[in-house]
A = this chain, B = another copy of it.
Amino acid sequence: MKIAINTGGGDAPGLNAVIRAATKAALNRGWEVLGLRNGYASLYTDKPATRLTPDSVRGITMQGGTILGAANRGNPFEFPVLQADGSYTYEDRSDVVVSKLAELGVEAVVAIGGDGSMHLAHRLSEKGLKIVGVPKTIDNDLVGCDTTLGFDTACTIATEAIDRITTTAESHQRAMIVEVMGRYAGWIALHAGLASSADVILIPEIPFTLESVFKKLEQLKKQGKEHAVIVVAEGAQLKEGGHFIKGKQVGQAELLGGAAAFLEKEIMSQTGQETRSVILGHQQRGGRPSTYDRLISLRFGAEAIRAIEEGDFNKLVVMKENQLRRIPIADVAGKFKTVPTDSDTIMTARDLGICLGD
């Protein structure tokens, strides 16, 4: 058996642990393993893949990033080709991917990636490629599963940052706003906000009003608390306004700086409270995976090989109800798992007196 491993999409801590486990599990079965460099792109070049050995994957469980590299422009169905005038045209190179892998003798692919990569995997599987997917997203917004690799690390990093910022809020009587990742789902904001004892948590699933935030600040002052910590998902949604996405509010004028900057300006101008904001950004995506993420990544990688061994293709390996499961790739494409607004975690936030903006 010869397999290939591919990593795609944004960074997430744990990718290397998946690569290591899949490689070791395959080699221990006597298989050969190829790694695709920077996504499928290496297949269009004369160095189509690297052979993975025990040495290639030694010590990488604890490393962030992916030793294979991830494509910045990785869609083989719309591959960008630079034109003489500096513009790009887009070609469908998916047949090249399939034929080149066949030529290399690759019988199955472990595709590690996010929503986009899983969509690609699905389309490639329709062209005959045998694929087992390992979904990753620090945003935890994949349907059909409890948690995704990278999410625990992202929450950990965000919590540590909010912990730090809280001491300054407290001693300097400030409102401190921390913007975390989460365009469509508020998992990181909710989990890190709870874990760090935030006073206000704003997530896309619960549209917020400025009034509710101001009211909370007022109430804290009455309790003798001159400071506040506000955790906001980048995709938080203003009740009368719309989502903040990439520094814009959809359907409104551009809001430079996004959710955090908007809140900082409004709180300062409307309440007079000293306010500062921090955007955590890419800090949440890289670096050493947490112990939990290392473990599930290793389990995902090994399970992918078991799936291939059993001929169970076009499946994703996920953690569901605290068990490893395999679900059809087709079941998850284009769907998002948002925070259920009646979950016990939301109830816990309300029980703790946290303002959720509604």
B-side contacts of A147, CB under 8 Å:
322
| Any B CB within 8 A of the CB of A157 | yes
A45 lies within 8 A of chain B by Cβ:
no
B283→A161 contact, CB < 8 A: yes
Instruction: With A165-B282, A172-B72 as known contacts, state yes or no: A197 contacts B62, CB within 8 Å.
Output: yes
Q: Is the CB of A194 within 8 A of B294?
A: yes
Instruction: Check B25–A351 contact: CB distance below 8 A.
Output: yes
Q: Residues 279-313 of chain A: 1 if any B CB is under 8 Å from the residue's CB, otherwise 0?
A: 11111011110111011001100110110000000
A287 touching B164, Cβ below 8 Å? yes
In the complex, residue of chain B having the shortest beta-carbon distance to the beta carbon of A191: B295
Which B residue sits closest to A164, measured CB to CB?
A: B287
* B286, A276: Cβ atoms closer than 8 Å: no
A6 at the B interface (CB under 8 A)? no
Confirm or deny: A130 has a beta carbon within 8 angstroms of a beta carbon on chain B: no
What's the least CB distance linking A80 to chain B, in Å? 12
Choose the segment among A63-71, A89-97, A121-129 that binds chain B (4+ C-beta atoms closer than 8 Å): A63-71
In the complex, what residues of B have CB within 8 A of residue A285's CB? 164, 168
The segment from A204-212, A232-240, A340-348 that touches chain B is: A340-348
**Chain B residues within 8 Å of A282, by CB:** 164-165, 168, 176, 276, 278
Query: Which of B69, B157, B283, B291 interacts with A195 by CB under 8 Å?
Result: B291
Q: Which residue of chain B lies nearest to A300 when distances are taken between CB atoms in the complex?
A: B348
Would B306 and A347 count as touching, CB distance under 8 A?
yes
A171 touches B69 (CB 8 A): yes
Residues on B with beta carbons closer than 8 Å to the beta carbon of A59:
197
Could you tell me the distance between the alpha carbons of A353 and B302 in the complex, rounded to whole angstroms? 11
Copy count, this protein chain: 4
Instruction: Give the distance in Å from the alpha carbon of A139 to the alpha carbon of B304 in the complex.
Output: 29
A141 within 8 A of B: no
Q: Tell me which of B61, B167, B279, B348 contacts A299 (CB under 8 A).
A: B348
Q: Give the most central of A256, A291, A345: most B CB within 10 Å.
A: A291
> Are B166 and A302 in contact, CB atoms less than 8 angstroms apart?
no
- For the complex, is A170 an interface residue (Cβ under 8 Å from B)? yes
- CB contacts (< 8 Å) of A20 on chain B: these are 352
Q: Which of A81-103 contact B (CB under 8 A)?
A: none
Q: Which residue of chain B has the shortest Cβ distance to A354 in the bound complex?
A: B24
In the complex the two chains form, is A172's CB within 8 Å of B11's CB?
yes
Residues of B within 8 A of A140 (CB): none
- Across the interface, A274 reaches (CB within 8 A) one of B67, B72, B157, B169, namely B72
Contacts of A171 in B (CB 8 A): 7, 11, 15, 64-70
- Show the binding face of A for B, using Cβ within 8 Å: 7, 10-11, 15, 20-21, 24-25, 28, 38, 54, 59, 61-70, 72, 146-147, 152, 155-157, 159-161, 163-174, 176, 191-192, 194-197, 223, 256-257, 274, 276-283, 285-288, 290-292, 294-295, 298-299, 302-303, 305-306, 320-324, 344-345, 347-348, 351-353
Contact sample, A vs B, 10 pairs, CB 8 Å cutoff: A24-B352, A28-B352, A38-B173, A70-B172, A161-B283, A165-B282, A167-B286, A194-B294, A279-B279, A303-B348
